[in-house]
Chain A
Amino acid sequence: MIRIKEGDLLRLASMLGDMGYRVIAPTEANGVTKFSDFSAGTGIDLDYIRAINTPRDFLLPDGERLYTYRSTATVTSYGLKIRFPTVEGPCPVTINAEYSTPSGRIAFFAIHPCHANAIRYLDRVMLSDPADPYYKARRERSLIVVLECEEGDDFCFCVPAGSWKLDDGYCDILVRRSGDEFLLQPKSKAGEEAASKLNARAEADLLEEKAPKMRSSFSISTSEEMIDRCESEGLDSCTLCAACTVTCPTCYCSDIEDRFHLVDPSNVERLRKRMSCQRRCYSMIAGGNLFIKTKEDRYRWRLKHKFPFSSKAFGISGCVGCGNCIAFCPAGIDMRRTVGRGFKT
């Protein structure tokens, strides 16, 4: 464990930048805290409880390019060959798909334990066989600096969700505020390497994770049947804006679509866009059939995906108790009423 001043902690962020990491840190602007690229000289919000975006936005960025290809042959078959100067000449025999996986290292600076556990969940999803090559490339070279919370806000429930504890590999440096100072505990080789550059004297004590204070206590128990049976209290104010899934650190549903360019229509990019189960086209199949129609169904679907489906498919819960879906819901819909046993507001 090492003990440092706030200035040194900010210095650590800049040093990570010097070590070649792209540093993602919480910054406050216009009344909301947001993870964004840190550069020396900008401030870091070390007192934040809640951020509107999550590490997921950097590990699985919206609109990521999966590959590009040439669409020459098909354009001709639609009767447009005369008009496009780019598609003259003999048809190629392949679509010439080309891709590149991301390079560069990402350091998540001062994320909370719930977000570290969200990364653990995403790992389970994205790295299970066959691994997602884009996510894998980012994760292999990422570093996580976790800043512990002393106390949650009205929406936090990481203690009932069990996500204040950190698994090996999901925390390189653990940071705790202690009065005016910060306590640092490197937990991996990469963490030690970074912390050693602070030249602070190491103390013998070992810093262990500590559960933050919670404003409500309850236990989480769910099954598909229980979620199906739940009352849809408050759902009549749901406008299907999907804020719950957009701000969720573990929502990973996606869509893959083409991006064309009129100037060179034969050069097509294939992009991965974020998708939400609250949106209409999430469950639409050819012919316009929907599998998940009503608000109630979509709400239940989100919870089923978080709890029973995730336990079944990935072996862990998909909810880390960060409370973002409750805090950022314009309608104030609280999923703890559905899944929390003994929950009281």
Chain B
Amino acid sequence: MRADDNENPYVPKSATVVAVKNESLETKTLRVRLYKWKAEFQPGQFVQLLLPGVGEAPFCIASSPSDQKHIDLTIIRRGLVTIASHYMRPGDVVGIRGPFGRPFPISRMLGKDLLIVGTGIGIAALRSLILFLADHREEFGEIDLLYGARFPEDLVYRDEMKNWGEKMNVMITLSKASPEWGGLRGRVTDHLDGVVKRESQIAILCGSPLVMRSISHELLRRGLKADQIFVSLERHMKCGIGKCARCLISGGWHVCKDGPVFSLDEISLEAIGE
């Protein structure tokens, strides 16, 4: 059976790389155009990217849901697929499965103040949400975006941050900044004081498991309730539809089906990982 006219969730559909952007030393953003199909996705969902001849890996969609013909994937060099993805050139054909997973709870966020915290490459999973919020700015309260990285060279989306700054309060902090760095210094947890204050705030976190745990801990200590905090988790999902059990986490949740976005009243801090 040809794959282009089926609903087999294992079989990828075709897409073409249309642009590759260098974000930082280790990070590139691949823009792919879907070939004769549309992806109806929401911020927070992920896709499985098949690089022909290399393999498949899950990536959170990093582009605005208003464009269903294109998907941006921001990829850091780490493993097999991610390294190979850095060799992709415009015109290369890839396979895309998805979108999969439970998105960010937009309906719960409407009208509320938002605190978005991303560290490292975790910001990629938040970009879709950030772009969505920028498009629908008037439907939400105050938005604070706190982005932490180690070195200035690690920062991604540098050119876009200015545009985002017009729509929300963007704070960038570096834990290993060079002397020339004029912005905030230290870890994201050092800068929570000014931004965590609101009763009705919703916090959205994405980053390495340890960092997410320490941020969650700080937020809870500052009086946010567990159901106000949402985390986006990373596991090596293989199938994306809850059949391979590779992304099970404590509590019996499948990250691919029930996540990757969880509120902290659903999962324990330990389930985030180390």
Contact = CB atoms under 8 A, between A and B. Distances in A.
Report A-B touching, CB under 8 Å.
yes
Interface of A: 66-67, 69-75, 77-78, 91-101, 125-126, 128, 130, 132-133, 224, 252-258, 260, 265-266, 268, 270, 275, 282-288, 291, 304-305, 308-313
B217 interface: no
29 contacts: A66-B11, A67-B3, A69-B52, A69-B95, A71-B53, A72-B93, A73-B92, A75-B52, A77-B88, A93-B14, A95-B14, A97-B3, A97-B4, A97-B11, A97-B12, A98-B1, A128-B242, A132-B10, A132-B243, A133-B10, A254-B246, A255-B244, A258-B54, A268-B52, A270-B10, A285-B79, A287-B78, A291-B273, A305-B248
Contacts of A224: 250-251
B96 to A, nearest CB: 10
B79 A286 contact: yes
Contacts of B245: 125, 252-254, 305
B246 A130 contact: no
Nearest to A307: B252
Contacts of A275: 244, 246
B94 interface: yes
Contacts of B239: 254, 256
Contact of B87 (A67, A77, A97, A285): A77
A118 to B, nearest CB: 15
A67 B252 contact: no
Contacts of B236: 283-286
What's the dominant secondary structure at chain A's contact region?
mixed
A118 B10 CA distance: 24
Contacts of B250: 224, 304
Nearest to A293: B274
A260 B52 CA distance: 10
B201 interface: no
B83 to A, nearest CB: 9
B82 A253 contact: no
Nearest to B235: A285
A310 B252 contact: yes
Question: Interface centre among A78, A130, A257, by most B CB within 10 Å?
Answer: A130
B12 A291 contact: no
- Which 5 pairs between the two chains have the least Cβ-Cβ distance? A312-B252, A71-B52, A97-B3, A286-B79, A309-B252
Contacts of A283: 235-236, 246
Given A224-B250, A309-B252, 11 more contacts: A67-B10, A74-B88, A77-B89, A99-B10, A125-B242, A132-B10, A132-B243, A254-B243, A256-B244, A283-B236, A312-B252
B56 interface: yes
A70 B12 CA distance: 12
A270 B242 CA distance: 18
Contacts of A313: 242, 248, 252-254
Nearest to A75: B53
A254 B79 CA distance: 19
Nearest to A281: B236
Contacts of A96: 2-3, 14
B157 interface: no
Interface string B7-30: 011111110100000000000000
B94 A95 contact: yes
B93 A95 contact: yes
A98 B13 CA distance: 11
A74 B79 contact: no
A288 B52 CA distance: 22
A253 B11 contact: no
Nearest to B6: A99
A93 B35 contact: yes
Nearest to B83: A286
Interface in B9-64: 9-14, 16, 35, 50-57
Contacts of B1: 98-101
Contact of B93 (A67, A93, A284, A308): A93
Interface string B68-80: 0000000000110
Contacts of A304: 250, 252
